[in-house]
Structure 1
Amino acid sequence: MIPFIDDLSKLIHPTSLPLHLLDNLSKVLYPASIADYVALSILFLAGATYLSRGFLWDKPDPYYHLAFERPQLKHGSGLNSVARETRNIAQKLAESNKNIVVFWGSQSGTAEGFANRLTRDISLRFGSQGALSADLSDFDPSSIAQLPPSTIAIFILSTYGEGDPSDNTAEFWDWMTKANKGETVIDLPNLRYFAFGLGNTNYKFYNRVVDVVVDALNSLGATALLPVARANDAEGTTQEDFIAWRDSLFTLFRTTLGLQESDLHYLPTIAVQEDTSLEPIDLHHGEPDLHVNANRPGYSAVRPLRLIASRPLFHRSSPRHCLHLDLDLSSQPEFTYKTGDHLAIWPSNPDDEVSRLLSLLGLLSSSSTPITIHSIDPSTTKIKIPSPTTPLALLRHYLEICAPLNRDSLHALAQFAPTPSAKHTLHHLATSKSAYASFTSHNHITLARLMLLVCPDQPTWPALPLSYLIESLPPLQPRYYSISSSSVLSPRKLSITVLVASSPIPNSPAQTIEGVVSNYLLAAGESVSPSPSPLPAASASASAHHRPKTKVQYTLSGPGGSLSPSPQTQLLYAHLRKSKFKLPRVSTCPLIMVCAGTGFAPFRAFLAERRQLLQIGREVGEMLLFFGCRTAEEDYIYQEEVEDVQAVLGDRLRVVMAFSREDAMPRRYVQDRIGETGDAVVRLLEEEGANLYICGRAAMAREVEKAVGVEMQRVKGWSEEQVGEWRKGIKRRNKWQEDVWG
C-alpha cells in the first residue's frame, strides 16, 4: 500500500507533469475574477462561523431550564421532586430522633395504610419522639443489623398471589431468604420486633411472607416481643384484626416497656394552606403521576387510552351488568401487551359523593381555590398527594372517599363532631364492636354519608380539617382487569371484561354499594358507540337496545379536561402490567382452563389464538374448558363466541358448563364438574402433559385445587403426600398457572 502511495505522489508531483497540463490546472485552481474571490470569502466566513458556534456566539444559557420549572417543585412539594436521603435505617432514625420504625410491605396499599395509622397513633399516644413509617424499598435491608438495642422494629407485611411478597419488599425478601439459608452471614441480637401479616385463607399460602420473615428474624437472633399476628381478608376481618393487634401492642408498650400514654388529640403531620396567588397552570388538577411506574419492572407508564366501543354481555333478563370494552392503543406506540396481561384503569370518584363531602366541609364555594400541601416534618412524613392542587381535585381524583370507614376512623372523627350528640354516637360506634357491626349492616358508611347519618341537621363540620382527610383516607388506586383480547390478532386494540359492581346492604336492600371503577367504566361506555357484536342480527339488536345505564354520575372530562380532547371521544388513564399467565410456546400442548364469570376473559384470548393457528394450518392440542356462571339465560358471557370457536375447533375443544342457579337442575360449580370429568382431567395432565389454568376468585381456585387433587388420588391411587409433591412439581415447571383475586 505504501509503495503505491509513493508512486502516486510522483505521478501528480508538478515536476512530473507537462507544462500545458500545469497551465490548465492553474486556471482551475486559482481565482480568475472578483466573483471567485467573493465566493471564497463567503465560504470561509460561513465555515468559521459554523465552527465557532457555542464558543464565540450562541452560547447556551445556563439558566434556560428555569423557565420550564414549576416553582412549587423547587421546594419538594410535588410528586416529581427527588430528595437524596440515606438508605441506612439506623442513620435515618438517628437523624429524625425516632426510636420506633414501622416497616411496611404493601401491594394494594392496605399494609401501607396500617403502617401510617400505627405510626401516627404511636406519635399521638406515646410522646413527641414517636415512630417512623418506612417503605422497605427505601432502605438497605442490611442496615437493620445496625439498629441499637433501644430501637423497636415493627413489620407489617402483606402476602398476595401464590405466597408472593409485595413489589416493594423484593430486596428485603431476597436479603432475608439468603440470610436464612446461611448465604449471608449476619446476626441480629439487638433487634426487638413485632410483626403483623395481611393475608387471605382463600389462597393456599396464607400469610406466607410474614411467617418466612419471622422465622428468618428468629433464626438470626432477633427477639419477638409478641407472637406474630395475622389478618384474614377472606372473613372480612382485616380491620378488626389490626385493631385487636394494635391494642395488644399498646398494652405491652405501657406495661412492659414502661411508655407513658397520653390522651388522644389530633396533631396534624401535614399543613394545608390556601394560596390564591397560584394560577391554574401551576396546579395539579387530578392527573395521575405519569411516571409512577418508572422503577417497577413489568409495568408501563400511565397514559390516556381511547375507549372506542362498549357493549353489554349479560342478557336482558339479568338485573346485573357486565361490559365488553375496546380500547385503542394507536396513540401510545410504547404500549405493547401480550395475551394474558392486565390493564389498570385509573378512575375518579362519583360526583354525588364529591359534592356531598365538599358541602359538609364547607368548601363548595371554594372548591377550586388553590391549596398547597406540605409535611410539617419532611424527614418522617412523605406527601403522596400532588401539590399545589384544589379541594375539588383532591376529593375527586386523589383520595378514596367512597371506602367504608373502620372503627379507628370513627374514634378520631368524633373529636371534630359539631354537636355533643354526634360525638356521643361516634364514640359509641368506635368503642363497641357489636354496635359498629349492626350499624354497618344497615348503612354504607363512607365519610360523607356517616357525617350526615350522625348529624343530619348540621350542614357543615367546620372543625374538620382537610389535613385529617389526607392523613386518614387512602389514595385512590387503579383497578386491574385481565385483558380479554389476543395480542396476536389485535396488537393495537385491546379489550377488557368488566362486571359492574352493585351490592345491596344486607339489612337494607334499598341501599346499594356501587363499585367505583366498574361504574366509572359503565358511565364512560355510555359516551361511546357500541362495539361490533358477534351476535346474530336479532340478538345484537336486542343487546344494543339493552345497553345498561349507570345510576352513578361521573365527570368524564378528566382532570382539567384532559380526557375529552374532542366530541364523541372518551379517554381513560391506564397502564399495563405484565403477567405470567401465558399460553405454552408449543401449540400442540393440551390445555385445561377453569374459570367462573369474568374469569373467562383471558381464555377468550387463548381460544381465539388457538382457532387462528388451526385456520392457518397449524396443529393445536386438545382443550378442556370448565366455565361457571349462574344461568345460561342470564350471565353466560360470550356464549355465541364460545359456540363459534367450538364449531371451528371441533373435537379439539370440549366445553363443560357449571350452572349454579338453573331452576331445572341442581347447583353445579366448576369444582363439581371437575369431579364429574376426573378421568379426562387426569389423562390430560398426566399422559398428555397439559397445562392447567385457573382464573377467577381465590376461593374458587382453592376448591378447584382440592378437586384436582382428589381425582389424582382416585385415578392414580396416590397418597396426599404424593399429590402434594406432584402439585409442587407441576407448578415449579409453570404448567399450573393461576390468575386469581380475593
Structure 2
Amino acid sequence: MNFTSREHDEPAAADLAAGVGALHEDAFDSATAPQAAAGSFLSRRSRAASVCSGGPRPALLVLWGGEFGTTLNAAQDLVAAAKQREFPVELKALDEVRPAALLAGEIKSETGEVPIVLVLVATYNGHPPPNAANFLKELAEVPAGEEGSRNLSFAVLGVGNSNWVSTFVKSARDVEKLMLRAGANRLLPLEAADKNDVFERQLRTWRKAVFAQFASSPEELVKESEGQSHVEALPELLSLEPCEQGAAEPATLEAHFTERLGYATCAVSINEELCIQSDASSPSVRQIVIERPDGCSYACGDHLEVRPRNAEARVLRCCHHLGVQSDALVVVTGVKDEELPSGRPIAIGEILSYYVDLSALPSQETLASLLPHVANASEAAKMKLLTLTKEDSEYDRWSKSHLSILDVFEEYASLKVTLSRFVEVAPKMQSRLYSIASSPMSRGKNVELCCRVATYTASPNGQESIREGLCSSMLAGATSVICKIKEAPHMRLPPDPTKPIACVCRGTGVAPFLGFLQEREACRKKGIQTGLVSLYFGCRNDSDFLHKKLLQRWHEEGLCSLKLSLSRPTDGSSKEYVYHALRRNSAEILRLLDDGDASGYFYICGSASTLAKDVTNVLVDMLSDKGDASTGFTKLTDLQEKGRVIFDVWG
C-alpha cells in the first residue's frame, strides 16, 4: 500500500482532487464557446468576479500563514502579479486580522470596499503556523451562518508536502471549512501546492485561476487561461545604493538577527564525530553541544532554529561574478524586509553571506529575471527555454543537476547583472530546524544536536561533483551558532510519565528520543516511576550505530527496550528495516495503541518520504479491519488527532 497520493488524505481533501485545472477549463469554455449567448460570459462568473468591462478591479486582501519563507514568498509573488494587473491589493499575516471583523465586512480596502480574500497557509506537523494559530482559533468561535450569507468571497491555497499524509494542508482545509460554515462565499475550491510535486507550477496555475475569475471580457479570460508560455520576471523594487565608508556605523546581519528577530549568537562547547568513518560512503554525524540562548527555556522534542551562513569562498566567488568588493558599503532602499535592515550602511559581504542562499537551485522566476541580463544571444535562447511553463519542461530536467545560482554565472558567461537585481531575485536564505537531542533536566544550560552532514551530487556542465549541505557543513566546523529555540508543541512526552511509549527512527532521527530518554532517566533518579520506552532504531550497520554505549546502557538498566534494525549488516546476518521489527511486534504495538491499561503513545521521527511513509503503511495495516485499509487509515487519523500518534518528520 502506498499512501503518498492525495486520494488517501483526510475525507475533507476530496476538493483537492478537482484541482484548479477543471475550474479553469470550465471558465475558459464558457467564455469561448461559439454558441454562447451574448450575456453568458458574465452570467457564469461568480458574484465576486462580475466586474463590468473596463471597470475598476476589485480589491484583494492576501492573507498568509507560514514559518520559513516559502508561504510568504508565494504570497508576495501573488501580490506582485496582482499589482502588475492593476488590482488594489494588501498583504497581511493571518493573525493580523480578526476573523469576526473580516466576515462582518468591517475590514475595508483603501478604496473603501470589502476585499476579495485570498489565503495561503502552511501546516506544521498537523498544526497551524504561529502567525495563523489565533486566526484559526477565533475563526472556529465565529457562529455558523447560512450558506453564502456573508458579503465576503475567498479562496484558499494550502502549502504542504503530501508525504505528510494525514496532515497534508490541514490548516488550509480548516480555514476553508470554517469560512464556509460562517457563511462566506467560496471563489474557488481549495487547492494545494505540494512541495513533493511540481510546487512552483501549482502556484502559478492557482494564480492563473484566481485572476481568471476577475477577467472583464472573454478576451482577457482567454489571456489569463492560456497564461504566458514563459514565467514572468519578478518586479524590480529593491535598490542597493553605494555608501561612503565612515558615513555611519555599518549594520551587521548577525546583530540585526539578535536585536530584531529573537536570535542569539551561542558558543559551541563540543563538536565531535559520532560515526566510525569506515569508508568514503560513511556519513559524517556530529555531536554538537551549544550554549542555550540566554533566557530561553525548552522542552524535550523542541527544535533549534539555526541561521545558516554561506562559506566565505562562495561569497568571494559571487563578488567576482558581480564585479563588487565584499567590504564595500551599500544602503538598502525600495523594499521592506524584516531580514534586511534598510536605511543604514551594510557591507555587501554581509548581504551575500546571510541574506541570499548561494547554494540553492534558482527558480524559474529567478531565471526569467536574469534573462534580460544575458548578453550572448545563444546563451539567452538557452536560458529562455528554462523559463517555459509546459509539462516535462526543460527546467524540470535541468533542475535534476542540482545547480546553484553560482553555477548559473559559470554556465552563462555573458550574464552581467547588477548587485541590486541579483540580491532581489536570488534564492533567499532560509533557517534550518534541528531536533534537540537533550533534556533540560540533563544538559542544564546547553542544548545538544545530532547532526548529519548532508551530501548531494551536482552536475555543473555535465561533470558530477559531491557537495555538502549548506547548514550542516557549516555546523560541522562551527565554534558559534546564530540560533533560537523553536517550540514543537506536538512533540511532547506524555503528561503521565508512567505511560509506555514507542519511538521509531533511523539515523539522526534518534535525536528527540535521546532527549526523551534523558528526561525519563532524570525522573527515575528523583524516584518518579516511568513507563518503558520501546526504541525502534534503524542503522546501516554497527559503524553508524549512534550513541551505541549510551543506548545499550539504558537498555540494560530497563529504561528502554532497544530494538535495533541493521539494513547493511557486516556480520552476514539478514538485513532488516524498522518496519520489519514493527510487524514482528505488532501485538505489542496494538496494545499500545488500544485504550486499555497498556495504552501509550507512538512517535515517529525521520524522513517523510521514506520512514514516515513506511511506518504509516505498517500502522494502517495493523489497524485495518479485515484488510479494509480505509478503516485503518481512519483509526490512525483519529489517534493522531488525539495526540497519541505523533509524527515529527521532514520532507
Q: TM-score range by the shorter chain?
A: 0.7 to 0.9
- Structure 1 residue aligned with 2:120, among 153, 156, 165? 156
Tell me, yes or no, if structure 1 residue 708 matches structure 2 residue 616.
Answer: no
- Structure 2 residue aligned with 1:657, among 558, 561, 564? 564
1:579 counterpart letter in structure 2:
A
The separation in 2 between residues aligned to 1:178 and 1:614, in whole angstroms, is 42
The higher radius of gyration belongs to 1
Tell me, yes or no, if structure 1 residue 515 matches structure 2 residue 473.
Answer: no
Distance 1:689 1:519, change over 3 A: same
Shift of 1:500: 0.6
The 5-angstrom pairing of residues 550-589 of structure 1 reads: 570-580=479-489, 581-589=491-499
SS in 2 for 1:202: coil
Tell me, yes or no, if structure 1 residue 620 matches structure 2 residue 547.
Answer: no
The separation in 1 between residues aligned to 2:91 and 2:581, in whole angstroms, is 48
The separation in 1 between residues aligned to 2:608 and 2:158, in whole angstroms, is 18
Q: What is the CA deviation profile of residues 203-243 of structure 1, one whole-angstrom value per residue up to 9, with x for unaligned ones?
A: 112112222322333444544444432122223x2122223
The 5-angstrom pairing of residues 245-264 of structure 1 reads: 245-251=206-212, 254=215, 258=220
Distance 1:252 1:609, change over 3 A: closer
Given that 1:345 and 1:573 are in contact with CA atoms closer than 8 Å, whether structure 2 keeps it comes out as yes
Q: What is the CA deviation profile of residues 563-605 of structure 1, one whole-angstrom value per residue up to 9, with x for unaligned ones?
A: xxxxxxx322111123332333444322211111111112122
Given that 2:234 and 2:425 are in contact with CA atoms closer than 8 Å, whether structure 1 keeps it comes out as no
Shift of 1:317: 1.7
Given that 2:355 and 2:429 are in contact with CA atoms closer than 8 Å, whether structure 1 keeps it comes out as yes
The match for 1:676 is 584
Tell me, yes or no, if structure 1 residue 139 matches structure 2 residue 101.
Answer: no
The match for 2:14 is none
The separation in 2 between residues aligned to 1:485 and 1:713, in whole angstroms, is 36
Distance 1:713 1:170, change over 3 A: closer
Distance 1:648 1:473, change over 3 A: same
Distance 1:414 1:333, change over 3 A: closer
| Greater Cα offset, 239-248 or 319-328 | 239-248
- Structure 1 residue aligned with 2:240, among 244, 264, 272? 272
Shift of 1:494: 2.1
Distance 1:350 1:382, change over 3 A: closer
SS in 1 for 2:81: helix
The separation in 1 between residues aligned to 2:218 and 2:129, in whole angstroms, is 32
Distance 1:510 1:726, change over 3 A: closer
- Structure 2 residue aligned with 1:283, among 251, 255, 263? 251
Q: What is the CA deviation profile of residues 626-665 of structure 1, one whole-angstrom value per residue up to 9, with x for unaligned ones?
A: 01122233x221122211222222xx53221222334745
The match for 2:177 is 215
Shift of 1:519: 0.6
Shift of 1:454: 2.0
Distance 1:438 1:706, change over 3 A: closer
The separation in 1 between residues aligned to 2:206 and 2:519, in whole angstroms, is 50
Q: What is the CA deviation profile of residues 240-298 of structure 1, one whole-angstrom value per residue up to 9, with x for unaligned ones?
A: 222333344455555569489999677522332122165462423543422545xxxxx
The match for 2:284 is 321
Tell me, yes or no, if structure 1 residue 110 matches structure 2 residue 70.
Answer: yes
The 5-angstrom pairing of residues 295-306 of structure 1 reads: 301-306=262-267
Shift of 1:406: 1.5
The separation in 1 between residues aligned to 2:175 and 2:638, in whole angstroms, is 24
Distance 1:653 1:382, change over 3 A: closer
Shift of 1:713: 4.6
TM-score, reference length from structure 2: 0.79
For structure 1, the residue ranges without an aligned partner over 5 or more in a row are: 1-96, 294-300, 525-569
The 5-angstrom pairing of residues 629-668 of structure 1 reads: 629-633=539-543, 635-649=544-558, 653-662=560-569, 664=572, 667-668=575-576
The match for 1:484 is 437
The match for 1:693 is 603
The match for 2:79 is 119
Given that 2:139 and 2:178 are in contact with CA atoms closer than 8 Å, whether structure 1 keeps it comes out as yes
SS in 2 for 1:289: helix
Distance 1:480 1:666, change over 3 A: same
Given that 2:624 and 2:630 are in contact with CA atoms closer than 8 Å, whether structure 1 keeps it comes out as no
Given that 1:343 and 1:575 are in contact with CA atoms closer than 8 Å, whether structure 2 keeps it comes out as yes
Distance 1:150 1:333, change over 3 A: closer
Given that 2:623 and 2:631 are in contact with CA atoms closer than 8 Å, whether structure 1 keeps it comes out as no
The match for 1:501 is 454
Distance 1:583 1:103, change over 3 A: closer
| Greater Cα offset, 637-646 or 701-710 | 701-710
Shift of 1:496: 0.5
Distance 1:436 1:693, change over 3 A: same
Shift of 1:487: 1.4
Shift of 1:321: 1.0
SS in 1 for 2:499: coil
TM-score, reference length from structure 1: 0.70
The separation in 1 between residues aligned to 2:427 and 2:233, in whole angstroms, is 21
The separation in 1 between residues aligned to 2:135 and 2:169, in whole angstroms, is 16
Given that 2:66 and 2:131 are in contact with CA atoms closer than 8 Å, whether structure 1 keeps it comes out as yes
Given that 2:155 and 2:186 are in contact with CA atoms closer than 8 Å, whether structure 1 keeps it comes out as yes
Given that 1:374 and 1:383 are in contact with CA atoms closer than 8 Å, whether structure 2 keeps it comes out as no
| Greater Cα offset, 705-714 or 269-278 | 705-714
Given that 1:375 and 1:382 are in contact with CA atoms closer than 8 Å, whether structure 2 keeps it comes out as no
SS in 2 for 1:485: coil
Q: Percent identity among equivalent residues?
A: 21
The match for 1:429 is 386
The separation in 2 between residues aligned to 1:705 and 1:265, in whole angstroms, is 41
Tell me, yes or no, if structure 1 residue 229 matches structure 2 residue 182.
Answer: no
Given that 2:65 and 2:72 are in contact with CA atoms closer than 8 Å, whether structure 1 keeps it comes out as yes
Shift of 1:733: 4.9
The match for 1:370 is 329
Distance 1:685 1:253, change over 3 A: closer
Given that 1:278 and 1:370 are in contact with CA atoms closer than 8 Å, whether structure 2 keeps it comes out as no
- Structure 2 residue aligned with 1:165, among 122, 128, 148? 128
SS in 1 for 2:565: strand
The match for 1:592 is 502
Tell me, yes or no, if structure 1 residue 398 matches structure 2 residue 398.
Answer: no
Shift of 1:731: 4.2
Distance 1:407 1:152, change over 3 A: same
For structure 2, the residue ranges without an aligned partner over 5 or more in a row are: 1-56
Given that 2:123 and 2:170 are in contact with CA atoms closer than 8 Å, whether structure 1 keeps it comes out as yes
SS in 2 for 1:234: coil
Given that 1:286 and 1:396 are in contact with CA atoms closer than 8 Å, whether structure 2 keeps it comes out as no
